[in-house]
Amino acid sequence: MRNIILDCDPGHDDAIAILLAGQKEKINLLGISVVSGNQTIEKTTRNALNLVSFLSIDVPVAMGYKDPLVRDRMICEEIHGESGLDGFTFPTYDKKIDARNSVELITDLCLKNEKVTIVATGPLTNVGLALKFKPEIKKHIEEIIFMGGSLDNGNVSPAAEFNILCDPEASHIVLSSGLPVKMVGLNVTRKVLVTKEVIERMAKINNKASDLFVKLMKVFNENQAKTFSNFIGGPLHDPVTIASLLDDDLVNYKHMNVTIDLSRGPSYGRTNCDVYDYLKQTPNCYVAMDINVKRFWDIIEEGISYYE
C-alpha cells in the first residue's frame, strides 16, 4: 500500500482517478488537494467534496489557489461543462473543506508521513508551491507522478498539453525539484479511449460507481466529439496515474531529461522530452512511453466493482 496525496481539478477524468484512489485495501489515500483547471477552484473543490461524499471516501479535501503562479487562469468548460462535472447530479452533502489550504494540506501530510507519493492530475500549482514553501517535505516524498505533457503534440496548442499550459512555471518547479518524477502524457493517455463498448461494459457492474462512470462518460464523450475531429472515444487521461500505481507493469517508462518551454512564444508550455539524449543533460523524469490498454480497463472495472 502506498501513502498518496491526490492533487486534482475534477473534471470528469479526475472523478475516475478519485474513484480508483478510494480503494482502501490497495491505497492509503491521505488527502485530496484541489486546484483550478478543468473549472474554477470553487467548482473543482465542490466537485471533489461531492465525489468523496458520494463514494464514502473519508479524507480531508482542501481548496488550493485560484490562479497559476504567473500566467492568466485557464479553464476547460468546453469539455467538462459549466459545473466541471456535467452529466451527474449529486445529492446534497454536508462535508466541508479542510481549514487548511491545499499547500498547507500537502505540506502537513508529507511531514506527518513517510514515503508519500504525490499524484497530480491537474495543473501543478499546488505541488510547485508546496515544494517552494516547504522544501523539507522532499525528504518525505517517495515520488511525484503527474498527468500532463506529451512526447509529441499538445491538446490545447500544437505544442502544449492543458495541465502543463495552465501553469508552466509550477511544472518547471516540479521537474527541477530533484525528486523522482514520473510524467504520464498524452502520447500514452490517448490510447485509453472511452468507447461505446467501454461504457456498456462498465454499466453491467450496476452499482453506484458504475452509474457515476456511465453518466459522466456519456457527457464527456459528447463534449469531446464537439471539440475534436475523428472522434472514437474520449481519452481517460487522469486515471492512468493511479492505475499505474495499482499495477507496476501497466505503464512503461523511460528516464530522460524533460524541460518546460517558458518562452511565452508559440511553444509555451511544451514538455521538451530528450528521448534520444541529444543534449546530454542529467535525466530528471521518467516519461510514460506505452500502456497495456487491456489491463487498464480491467483496473477500471475492478475499481468500479469495489463500491457497493
Which three cell numbers, joined as nine digits, stand for 265? 512564444
Complete DSSP assignment for 84-113 = SSTT-PPPP------SS-HHHHHHHHHHTS
The DSSP result for 175-228, as a single string, is HTS-S-EEEE-HHHHTTSEE-HHHHHHHHTT-SHHHHHHHHHHHHHHHHHHHHS
Contact 307, 207 (CB under 8 A): yes
| Residue tagged active-site, from 7, 9, 238, 261 | 9
Helices 239-246 and 293-305 cross at an angle (nearest 10°) of 90
9 is catalytic: yes
Distance of alpha carbon 298 from alpha carbon 266, whole angstroms: 39
Measured between alpha carbons, how far is 284 from 237 in angstroms, rounded to an integer?
Answer: 22
**CA pair distance 208, 216, nearest whole angstrom:** 12
Of 33, 174, 182, 172, give the one whose Cα is nearest residue 107. Answer: 33
Residues catalogued as catalytic = 9
